[in-house]
Amino acid sequence: MIFERSRILVVEDDPTSLRMLAEILRHEHELIIATNCNDALKLLAEKPDLILLDLYLGESKGIEVLSRVKADPELQDIPVLCVTSSTETNDIEEAFHFGAVDYITKPYNEIILQSKVNTFLDLSRKTALLHEQANTDALTGLSNRRQLDAQLPQLWLRMADEAKPMAAIMIDLDDFKGVNDYFGHPVGDATIKFVGSTLAQCVDPFSDLVFRIGGDEFVVLLPGVDFSGALKLGETIREKVEVSSLDMLPSAGEEGGFRLSGIEITVSIGIASALAIKTVSPLLLIEKADAALYQAKEAGRNTVYPKSEPKRMEATAPDSSSLS
């Protein structure tokens, strides 16, 4: 099995130490070099797999980089291995306090360095895999309800900072219980996968987010999108599912195929959009979309509701759990 080369951000200002590090690590890893705190902070945008951080950088202290990494939710899981030539324990204790995983002393011992780097890279990969599994729906590969709960308040606050709207689309399969009862759960699972795949094809992969939140229900978050944009996408999704549903599975007779005589898959869709405001809970957006979905079901299913923009959401005190 071939693995991608890990990216290590090396923050070191001593030329001799840098040459030694490069000789030891460059054959198995991609090295990103910073010789001061400012450059290191800029290079954090490269999202390295591990940071090898000298605690003494001229007049600066590497602890500044460490504290910045651990304060950023998008970076805090990156393991930071600190380097010191001092025999004082105060700096090491401070590094551990801010979240360093371990330390190594100069001059470098090649075996110890490689062992610690490989150990924490392996741990980082396993942590990332566990995180992905915990936040991904196993059947469709989409993000799950846990991810919706985590990303909704973050997106809402970002849109509020940019004074932009945000839309939510709720999608629910029509008579999904009938599909399971008549065709069986294997066809039901394939139907869920088909709808999830259709949603992923319809949205903008660079901005929109799709979630399966349970059973046959999905949510799409559209940052920066107003009501008309959400309505247009909702209609696109509804039409795409209806037109494609008869051909979504292998026909009878193919190996592993299913008998699909008479099966029709449609979805009901509820949409809501609002200008993001920090004093309004983002959960209200989801509640409005969910209420609209109920109206779509009441209107006969296989429809998008509402067809015209309703009144704007009134400001309410934000739910503290949704904005944390």
Q: Residues 238, 286: one domain?
A: yes
Q: Residues 112, 249: one domain?
A: no
Q: Residues 151, 81: one domain?
A: no
Q: Residues 160, 283: one domain?
A: yes
pLDDT at 135: 83
Q: Residues 92, 191: one domain?
A: no
Task: Please state which of the ranges 88-97, 113-122, 264-273, 295-304 shows the lowest mean pLDDT.
Answer: 88-97
pLDDT at 144: 94
Classify residue 264: in a domain, yes or no: yes
The neighbour count for residue 125, using CB atoms within 10 Å, is 13
Classify residue 219: in a domain, yes or no: yes
Question: Could you tell me the CATH number of the domain that includes residue 278?
Answer: 3.30.70.270
Q: Residues 122, 159: one domain?
A: no
For the segment 205-239, what is each residue's pLDDT rounded down to a tens digit?
889 999 999 899 999 999 999 999 999 999 999 99
CA neighbours closer than 13 Å in the CB half-sphere of residue 23: 10
Q: Residues 169, 126: one domain?
A: no
Classify residue 275: in a domain, yes or no: yes
201: Cβ contacts below 8 Å, ≥ 6 apart: 240
- Model confidence at 313, pLDDT cuts 50, 70, 90, reads low
Give CA–CA dist 268/212, Å, rounded. Answer: 15
What's the domain count of the chain? 2
Nearest CA-CA partner of 291 in 271, 264, 321: 271
65: Cβ contacts below 8 Å, ≥ 6 apart: 11, 37, 40, 41, 44, 51, 53
Classify residue 317: in a domain, yes or no: no
Query: Average model confidence (pLDDT) for the chain?
Result: 86
- Model confidence at 320, pLDDT cuts 50, 70, 90, reads very low
Q: Residues 177, 120: one domain?
A: no
| Percent of the chain whose predicted confidence (pLDDT) is above 90 | 54
Query: Is 63 strand, coil or helix?
Result: helix
Pairing between β-strand 102-105 and β-strand 56-57 as defined by DSSP bridges? unpaired
Classify residue 139: in a domain, yes or no: no
**Of 314 and 80, which is predicted with more confidence?**
80
Buried b (16+ CB within 10 A) or exposed e, 18-37: bebbeebbeeebebbebbbb
Q: Indicate the pTM of the whole model.
A: 0.64
Query: 109: domain range?
Result: 6-133
pLDDT at 132: 74
Nearest CA-CA partner of 266 in 250, 233, 289, 243: 243
Q: Residues 280, 206: one domain?
A: yes
49, 172, 174, 216: which is the annotated catalytic residue?
216
- Is 216 an annotated catalytic residue? yes
Give CA–CA dist 260/246, Å, rounded. Answer: 8
Query: Which secondary structure element, helix H or strand E, spans residue 90, and what is its range?
Result: helix 90-98
